[in-house]
Chains A and B, each alone.
Chain A
Amino acid sequence: MSSAPMLAVDSLSAWYGAARILYDLSFEVGRGEVVALMGRNGAGKSTTLKAVMGLLAQRQGKVRFNGDDISALKPFEIARRGLGFTPEDRRIFVDLTVMENLDIGRQAPRTFADGAPAPSWTPDKLFALFPNLAEMPNRLGNRMSGGEQQMLTVARTLMGNPLLVLLDEPSEGVAPLIVEQMASTIVELKKEGLSILLSEQNIHFARLVADRVYVLEKGQIHWQGSMTQLDNNPDVQRAYLTV
């Protein structure tokens, strides 16, 4: 990579109570790049994203984002620097409508470190990206299907006009049609200039969107390379991905 990476993580470790979950992870996401963290259930993918977002109290290591050290910041400060987070269990606000959910995520437009404006979003623009949501602006969160909730989660994060989005298992637990839609959305976002770090178990989904891959097992990175390299490496797939 020629320019400095958007996100550079250096020996990240994390604990739940006394149990250590992550062991000195180091990885990078370049500007405009889609990077997948892959691995089986329990490999530490979600924990990695949460640790980057500052959501785990017990963490160690250095995280640089958009040129700044964010290792010691609180989650809201990290979000305000343009790092978006969509959790795997969606966590939309079920007592709020679609529009109200979007409003909670709203932040001012921002620019990259070099001064270029970052993609900025309005509800209308998001409704164009997710036509399903456009049909139900006043629906309460608890009356939406899993797929609709998944879209709302992504849309809500985009309302913060992020520079990079942490996408936790976007393909999990939604209908195949929605999975495809998710994939094309990610490609769309990449075209807008967004960087994306996603966690994924499903290699078919990753193949549709990812440029590069880090493979995790038991909280450690065991392999890294381009998506094409992973595709041509059945050994790695068998060892760390297939169930």
Chain B
Amino acid sequence: MTLSAFLFQALNGLSTASGLFFIAVGLSLIFGVTRIINIAHGSLYMLGTYIAYSFATKIGGVLGFWGGILATALIVGAIGALIEIVLLRRIYRAPELFQLLATFALVLVINDATLWLWGPEDLLGPRAPGLGGAVEVLGRKLPTYDLFLIFVGPLVLVILHFALARTRFGRLIRAATQDREMVGALGVNQSILFTSVFALGALLAGLGGALQVAREPANLATDLVAIGDAFVVVVVGGMGSITGAYLAAVIIAEVKALCIGIGVVDFGFISVNFSKLTLVAEFLVMAVVLIARPYGLLGRAQATVRSIAEPEEPIRPATPMLKALAVTVLALLLCLPLLAQSSPYLLILGIDVLIAVIFATSLHFIMGPGGMHSFGHAAYFGLGAYGAALLVKWLGVPMGLALAAAPLVALAGALLFGWFAVRLSGVYLAMLTLAFAQIVWAAVFQWEGFTGGSNGVIGVWPPPPFDKSWVYFVLTLLLAVTGVLLLRRFLFAPFGYAMRAGRDSPLRAEAIGIDVKRVHWLGFAIAGGVCGVAGGLFAFAKGSISPETIGVGRSIDGLVMVLLGGIQTLTGPIVGASVFATLQDTVMRQTEYWRALLGAIILLLVLAFPQGIVGAFAAIWRKGKIEKSEGAS
């Protein structure tokens, strides 16, 4: 590549950076003050592009385009305020993960609302009136609009910087980012502050999306792509630093642009297609930054957040009643093959549910008792599934061996990734696990020669007698029960106590001689290994495995299952996985708008049962007991 082509790509990168910056900075501001990680921020960005498209095409002209962009920013800001008032305000006291779940539900709802309003086609807006031409830079034509975008980002950065430094609103944002409770105790109405900050963040995202209208088509997949990029930018730049957000946006956009620009490079012994690395490049950058600077380039260690959620109850061994219930359920499940003779679908559903149970229980193991919020549990599912499938494909090993290898492959991956992940905590840990999962996904997706690329691996069917679904069901049941009991055993062993001690107070745990990092690392690895079993079972149950089944969607499904059931109990993930997998297999397939339906169900559950399904029943049960004992005394 020539130097001028190189520089030209760099310019291109700068104009992309502005868009990334707009969404990342809003995300960062909102997180700082409200401590909510707004996964729906990418959706607000996407909405911005769609609304601006409507203004630009329906009204048209200079007013429709430029006026439309401003109006869009205001509209999206108002939508943000509405979201905060109607939904988020009710769950500030809920555990952090519940808030994540709620904003994820918004992603689903907004995506389907957009589909309903604008349809599934990509919509490319008109050229920007006044900036439709191109200027010649380094012998190439750079659209004037891109040049404009290059300057808009830094301009907004400067405006925000001064607003934060010089206005009372800015001071309040900075103060609340550190200690919002104290700000309240000094007479500041937090509700108004939170709503305004959320509206501001949404406005910035809407503006960023609207500005893309003349550059890229409005597309329904933008929401998750944008939020993924924005997470990376915020984490690389440092949570809460707006300058860091811009810096990181530039770095990420440049790395991507250069990967595309470099193209295929022949190293003599091997040729690497760099443009294929774009999917993984940003996550590699993030992984490197997080390992070198755990709080991002310009971030600082966060002051310990004053948790306003209720302290977590200790987990308790199963009561005799629960044990009896478990045995009953198990007996019923064993009878399922008999009941299912008339409807074989029931067994397929049963297998799906049991695989989900293994997946969710292993995720809960590190999220609940380990306190490590993994956003990339799909990685270990994928490693298990691909490990088993590829052994069958390339070496023709029998199913038993492949299923035994699945957890080992996942364990190896979890040992490697976990070693890095346990060095971080909170949001940063979540993001790093997401990065690792994306790397696994991208590797599988890009390495066509070995993994089959986007087609995946097919023809991984179980041999007789396991080709009968009832036999495979019993095998799955056996492995699921073993997996769940194994994880329980770990939790009630000294190892499990150490893991919880490390979660509740790392300092005190270290002081009594627990190597917290090592314990959490092993916990991470154990969870990964058990999750690999789910992956292996999945590959043989479906007869195939493909990249989309191990993508970020699966990680999020896992989070939803765990949170749905309730993170504070051990039965929670089992119930959550069962409910979720059943809903997914039945209701979701009935409607085109299944995302909105799922989102609505999640929102309803979040608002009605902020402790998860099992948590809610446990709370009612406890309350009843307390009232009884107080009435007696």
Contact = CB atoms under 8 A, between A and B. Distances in A.
Same assembly: yes
Interface of A: 16-18, 53, 55, 57, 74-76, 79-80, 85, 87, 91, 93-96, 100-101, 103-105, 107, 156-157, 160
A104 B311 contact: no
A94 B178 contact: yes
Given A17-B310, A93-B175, A95-B174, A57 B93 contact: yes
Interface string B167-193: 010011011011101111111111000
B171 A96 contact: yes
Contacts of A104: 171-172, 175, 183, 186, 188
A74 B184 contact: yes
Given A16-B311, A157-B186, A75 B171 contact: no
Nearest to A50: B185
Contacts of A101: 175
Contact of B185 (A16, A18, A79): A79
Interface in B220-277: none
Q: Which 7 A-B pairs have the closest CB atoms?
A: A79-B187, A93-B175, A91-B182, A17-B311, A76-B184, A75-B184, A105-B186
Given A17-B311, A93-B174, A107 B179 contact: no
Contacts of A91: 179, 182
A98 B6 CA distance: 48
Secondary structure call for the B interface: helix
Contacts of A80: 187
Contact of A87 (B172, B178, B182): B182
A207 B60 CA distance: 77
A79 B308 CA distance: 19
B188 A76 contact: yes
Residue picked from B93, B185, B189, B303, most chain A C-beta under 10 Å: B185
Q: Chain B, interface size: which category?
A: 20 to 34
- Which of B168, B188, B311 is packed against the most chain A CB atoms within 10 Å? B188
Contact of B171 (A18, A57, A94, A103): A103
Contacts of B177: 95
A100 B187 contact: no
A33 to B, nearest CB: 22
Contact of B186 (A16, A18, A94, A160): A160
A104 B188 CA distance: 8
Given A94-B178, A96-B171, A103-B168, A156 B310 contact: no
Given A75-B181, A79-B186, A96 B168 contact: no
B350 to A, nearest CB: 39
A55 B311 contact: no
B162 to A, nearest CB: 14
A85 B181 CA distance: 12
22 contacts: A16-B311, A17-B313, A18-B313, A53-B185, A75-B184, A75-B185, A76-B188, A79-B185, A80-B187, A85-B186, A87-B182, A93-B174, A93-B182, A95-B174, A95-B178, A96-B174, A103-B168, A104-B171, A104-B175, A104-B188, A156-B186, A160-B187
Contacts of A93: 174-175, 178-179, 182
Interface string B45-62: 000000000000000000
Given A16-B311, A95-B178, A85 B171 contact: no
Contact of B187 (A17, A18, A55, A76): A76
A55 B186 contact: no
Interface string B583-612: 000000000000000000000000000000
Nearest to B178: A93
Contacts of B171: 96, 100, 103-104
Given A55-B185, A76-B184, 4 more contacts: A91-B182, A93-B182, A95-B174, A100-B174
A98 B185 CA distance: 18
Contacts of B311: 16-17
Contacts of B181: 55, 75
Contacts of B188: 76, 104
A81 B45 CA distance: 41
A74 B171 CA distance: 22
B574 to A, nearest CB: 25
A63 to B, nearest CB: 15
A64 B206 CA distance: 46
Contacts of A103: 168, 171
Nearest to B190: A76
A105 B188 CA distance: 8
Contacts of B189: 76
Nearest to B172: A104
A85 B185 contact: yes
Nearest to A94: B178
Interface string B496-510: 000000000000000
A18 B623 CA distance: 11
B178 A107 contact: no
A59 B186 CA distance: 20
Contacts of A75: 181, 184-185
A103 B170 CA distance: 11
Contacts of A85: 185-186
Contacts of B308: 57
Nearest to B186: A105
A144 to B, nearest CB: 15
A91 B310 CA distance: 21
A105 B175 CA distance: 11
B310 A107 contact: no
B450 to A, nearest CB: 50
Nearest to B188: A76
Nearest to B182: A91
A76 B185 contact: yes
Nearest to A54: B185
A75 B184 CA distance: 6
A23 to B, nearest CB: 14
A96 B168 CA distance: 12
A135 B303 CA distance: 27
Contacts of B303: 94
Contacts of A18: 313
Contacts of B93: 57
Contacts of A95: 174-175, 177-178
Contacts of A96: 171, 174-175
A157 B178 CA distance: 17
Interface string B263-306: 00000000000000000000000000000000000000001000
Contacts of A53: 185
A100 B170 CA distance: 10
Given A93-B174, A95-B174, A107 B187 contact: yes
Contacts of A87: 182, 185
Contacts of A74: 184
A70 to B, nearest CB: 13
Nearest to A19: B311
A76 B193 CA distance: 12
Contacts of B174: 93, 95-96, 100
A93 B180 CA distance: 10
A55 B189 CA distance: 14
Contacts of A16: 311
Most buried by B among A75, A85, A157: A75
B31 to A, nearest CB: 16
Contacts of B183: 104
Interface string B334-356: 00000000000000000000000
